[in-house]
Amino acid sequence: MKSKTFSMIALSALALAAGLVPTVAQDTPAKIEQIGLMVQDMSNPFFAAMEKGAKEAAAEIGATLNTQDAQLDLANQNTQIDAFIQQGVDLIVISAVDQAGIAPAIERAKAAGIIVMAVDTPAVGADAVFQTNAVQAGEVSCTYLFDQMGGKGEVLLVDGTPIQTIIDRITGCKNVAANYPDIKIVGQQASRNDRASGMSVTTDMLTAHPDVTGIFGMNDPSALGAVLAVEQAGKSSQIKVTGVDGSPEAVQELNREGSPFIGTATQNPGEMVRQAVKAAVSITEGQTLTETNVLIPSVLVTRDNVAEYPGW
């Protein structure tokens, strides 16, 4: 059974997105019939879960869904938005590779009467953004990591591509580190948000800093890559690793005996999209959003409570 804690948090997240008041909408579609979903990198399970939520939301309102994978390339997202404009979609839901760089393309879409909702990370010009409270996620994950390290030791940060949600997670971790005078962050390198590059940069940092006892990965794939590096270095008993996402792979790893991976701060990619579509429908009905930056709370999942976690 799902725990009451996780259920209550999910309900709270739903309530955050419900602030709507009547107004007169202009230059917007009368109905959402075609949805264009734009994800950063479909090889990341996070975005597969996002697409699953988008399919559910589209089916609920009788709309079609077209998903496009940017493969972490801003130029691809620009081209994809222009294609959606030509196709006459009513709603674009975008996880932007570059929140500022995508602004001109979003402006073109809105000029064409398309509603644009950002998910996971902000996008300049979008009508609203639905995302995890990323600073909180970094704080939650690193608080647990530092506590499990006994409040002391050397730490590595496996960073990622410079988008706002990742920047915020690293900021959250550093916020927490300021409260632990005996925790020292000795290395920080950027992965490409995936397991292979997470393993590569961690291997490099471990070579330079052999006495490390903790690693924070800014998402689960990079954290699990760090786990591989730790195990290859023969330091599974020395180093603890945490991440952010609450992904199925992280759940599996938390259940693997002897893994250095000890915790993850959750995200809910499907819910982000469901709320974005719901908000867009409200706009077509002549309403406007009173809340345009909806932050979904993050919850810590560890070996102690993973059995209660509902997952994606």
**Per-residue pLDDT tens for 226-270?**
999 999 999 999 999 999 999 999 999 999 999 999 999 999 999
Give 62-95 as a DSSP string.
Answer: T-EEEEEE-TT-HHHHHHHHHHHHHHT-SEEEE-
Q: Are 96 and 102 in contact (CB under 8 A)?
A: yes
**Per-residue pLDDT tens for 95-121?**
999 999 999 999 999 999 999 999 999
Residue 59 burial (10 A CB sphere; 0-12, 13-18, 19+):
exposed
Give 85-128 as a DSSP string.
Answer: HHHT-SEEEE--SSTTTTHHHHHHHHHTT-EEEEESS--TT-SE
Please state the pTM of the whole predicted model: 0.83
Residue 53 burial (10 A CB sphere; 0-12, 13-18, 19+):
buried
**Per-residue pLDDT tens for 201-218?**
999 999 999 999 999 999
Name which residue leads in pLDDT, 5 or 311.
Answer: 311
Q: Which two tokens stand for residue 215?
A: 């690693």
Angle between helices 164-177 and 134-148 (to 10 degrees): 40
Q: In the CATH scheme, what is the homologous superfamily, with its name and number, of domain 134-266?
A: Response regulator (3.40.50.2300)
Give the 3-state secondary structure of residue 146: helix
Mean pLDDT of all residues in the chain? 92
Instruction: Give the separation between CA 241 and CA 152, rounded to whole angstroms.
Output: 14
Q: Tell me where in the chain the CATH 3.40.50.2300 domain(s) lie.
A: 4-133+268-296, 134-266
- Domain 4-133+268-296 sits in CATH at 3.40.50.2300
